[in-house]
Structure 1
């Protein structure tokens, strides 16, 4: 069963789907067309035919590198002309100060979310997932982790999509709430062990939670650590960990929580019908 939880002190909005389950602790990143080091285009126009009409290049060379710092240095030195993927926000200030470089920013048609393994106890309890949704600080992720180059999201449709209903209700669940989700867990029987300070499941057993984030992204790991901090505020033993991105995309039962991403190729929302 899939659940998008958009939580606040007044309650939560639920969208259910039977096949699987996750709740949306989402933000929208930005595509920066001068960006992360994957594909670069270098034009070679030494042999120019002046009879041709319009702008053109004779050849296009694609260069692949895994080192983002080298890619940015190559752009600054004029060795390449374009970086075609997103970059870490830590490099933006330096690039924006360069007089010969233009940085283009636009909302990305995607969002990140945490996938909860509802087949594991007590993650299968709605109250625990709701409590995590209340305590998760989307504002911190957007403004600190992404340095303002992201925006929080409650609804399952990105804000750049014309079908987005993000602001229709007039309120949001962006900021962390701590007191209310703690009371939810208290009332549900998640008692705090006085010896170690962590909550136990309603059946009296201790439990811990692992939050997986891709090992190839420091940003993703920082977001996972924000959820870890939220659980700690709820007196729940949780740890963020870096994992193989390929393994994270495989359908397996051997995980607690995973940080994943939904990307959309267009603005159609037919997929919503399958999640009701």
Structure 2
């Protein structure tokens, strides 16, 4: 048995002392502070089962309200949150955790080890796209045992040496006394959430705003900001207009390169950092002729990711590569590079029988059907629409016809869903949705740092992972490698993951476009305690908790504790502007006009990692 004691209370005390010696927040002692953070979309009542992934900060918002066992999921050795002691079996299958006894839920009920045991078993039995696969797929937890009032024990089917990261730092702990009566968790979206985290939700007006207030009884110390108002502004242009004009203090989106100078000249601080993010075009590997790996390889050869990155990001990102993972990820095979060679793309297309038989400039497949494809893209993501257009132009130069179709996010998500998604567990979905290809972004580290990220996304559908929700990719040798890596520690799995990424170079499931740098802007007079954190940006739980902040810019000494301005009218204005711009963006098409539908869904139907 391996025992790992964690002096959590001592660490917290030291953190508070450090904060007291050099306060990160400029505020008057007796004045409450309010921070205004614009988010991109509504997350229903902000529970783990109601989230929609529309805000741009889904995981970080959940972690303001709920506590995980460890934090952060984007570190190989995450710090304990609810855990005081850890014991592991010699075979790394069994993890025994001592749970803190000084934690209460927002309604005053004590959090216990039974809540932890209940949470993991609840996620195991109730499908939830973001979290359940961390306990009922990889790892597969076969027993959930309450040892005593303060101790819980989990046993995995196979070795799970990375348990503190996955699932320990991913799963938010939920209160048994609330959720044991919830039999349909996806529809449990009316009540405000009850968590144990540093903030409680006190108001939610659907599609308009959230209001969070500090949990001053939080065991990790009173949060640095008393109140967080989060207006919902879906359109990126309207969001940055609100930021630049001072209507909000920061936003959930990464700052586009073309806006950086303008924001800095307006007095905003801009933070630049790695972000574990990517933008790519997922190809439907189950829809002929995209079933042909030679066609997918030729399409990759025809796309100049360096030129696309320069055009869209300037020097604020890195070009895409078929190995899929962000080059800054510790699991990325850094030796791999994308090759842009349109002449070789034409030769490969010719050799696979994709030729222009009728001389109209468009190649046909061996069955005579023209290579005519549609790229779906979110209408509210202007840069991704432009990326799709650039890819379309480059693919047309080698003889394909491409139509870019912007759709509202709800319609786009519904087109991506497997047709049998509602009838089976996530890993058992085997058919891809109704699309040729679509643009998507993986941000916030959830895929690029996850030690099993490649398996989840790209394993053959039907056994493990959620490949049918992504692209339907299937390569048995790739599966063998990522399955073997899943039961190994961080260092031990590197060779297998590197070899798996080499397979993707010649058998690519997608077109990886670029890895954007994390660039975040904020009003320095409103709050100076931002803690840049790779995979999270600046909006995350540790930015609001007391602790040391070496090297983080502080607000001016005379900064007021609360931003000025009307507390309500600006929200209405920003939302109205956003709604108008969204309506205009949704009408955009490129080359062909396509009808689209709009509407609000209750939540995602399957896994999402954006």
SS of corresponding position for 1:200: coil
CA distance in 1, matches of 2:227, 2:39: 23
1:61 to 219, 224, 229: 229
CA distance in 1, matches of 2:329, 2:292: 32
- 1:68 is displaced (CA, Å) by 4.2
Shift in CA distance, 88/35, structure 1 to aligned 2, threshold 3 Å = farther
1:234 to 390, 393, 398: 398
Contact 1:211 1:259 in 2 (8 A): yes
* Superposition RMSD in Å: 3.2
* 2:369 equivalent in structure 1: 205
* 2:440 equivalent in structure 1: 260
Contact 2:377 2:385 in 1 (8 A): yes
Deviates more, 1:225-234 or 1:112-121: 112-121
* 1:271 equivalent in structure 2: 453
* 1:144 equivalent in structure 2: 311
* 2:338 equivalent in structure 1: 173
Contact 1:41 1:80 in 2 (8 A): no
Contact 2:234 2:380 in 1 (8 A): no
Q: Which runs of 5+ in 1 are unaligned?
A: 1-33, 43-52
2:273 to 99, 106, 116: 106
* 1:219 equivalent in structure 2: 383
1:160 equivalenced with 2:328 (yes/no): yes
SS of corresponding position for 1:226: helix
TM-score, normalization: structure 1? Answer: 0.70
SS of corresponding position for 2:439: strand
Shift in CA distance, 92/121, structure 1 to aligned 2, threshold 3 Å = same
* Number of equivalenced pairs: 230
2:257 to 77, 80, 89: 89
- 1:157 is displaced (CA, Å) by 2.2
CA distance in 1, matches of 2:273, 2:210: 20
- 1:163 is displaced (CA, Å) by 2.5
CA distance in 1, matches of 2:230, 2:433: 39
Contact 1:215 1:245 in 2 (8 A): no
SS of corresponding position for 2:319: strand
SS of corresponding position for 2:263: helix
- 1:67 is displaced (CA, Å) by 4.7
Deviations 1:141-181 (A, max 9, x none): 21102333221132232222223222x35xx215x311111
- Write 1 or 2 for the structure with the bigger share of strand: 1
SS of corresponding position for 2:294: helix
Shift in CA distance, 92/125, structure 1 to aligned 2, threshold 3 Å = same
CA distance in 2, matches of 1:205, 1:60: 55
CA distance in 2, matches of 1:74, 1:254: 36
SS of corresponding position for 1:206: coil
Shift in CA distance, 36/140, structure 1 to aligned 2, threshold 3 Å = farther
- 1:128 is displaced (CA, Å) by 1.0
1:187 equivalenced with 2:369 (yes/no): no
Deviations 1:53-74 (A, max 9, x none): 9994443333332354454344
* 1:126 equivalent in structure 2: 293
* 2:202 equivalent in structure 1: none
Deviations 1:175-216 (A, max 9, x none): x31111101111222221344111111123334111111122
CA distance in 1, matches of 2:276, 2:303: 22
Deviates more, 1:233-242 or 1:80-89: 80-89
Shift in CA distance, 37/90, structure 1 to aligned 2, threshold 3 Å = farther
CA distance in 2, matches of 1:255, 1:70: 29
Contact 2:283 2:290 in 1 (8 A): yes
Contact 1:35 1:86 in 2 (8 A): no
CA distance in 1, matches of 2:291, 2:235: 40
CA distance in 2, matches of 1:69, 1:262: 21
Q: Which runs of 5+ in 2 are unaligned?
A: 1-36, 42-54, 56-208, 212-220, 419-431, 460-477, 479-610
CA distance in 2, matches of 1:69, 1:261: 18
CA distance in 1, matches of 2:441, 2:244: 31
Deviates more, 1:246-255 or 1:226-235: 246-255
CA distance in 2, matches of 1:224, 1:269: 29
Contact 1:135 1:230 in 2 (8 A): yes
Shift in CA distance, 120/70, structure 1 to aligned 2, threshold 3 Å = closer
Shift in CA distance, 73/236, structure 1 to aligned 2, threshold 3 Å = closer
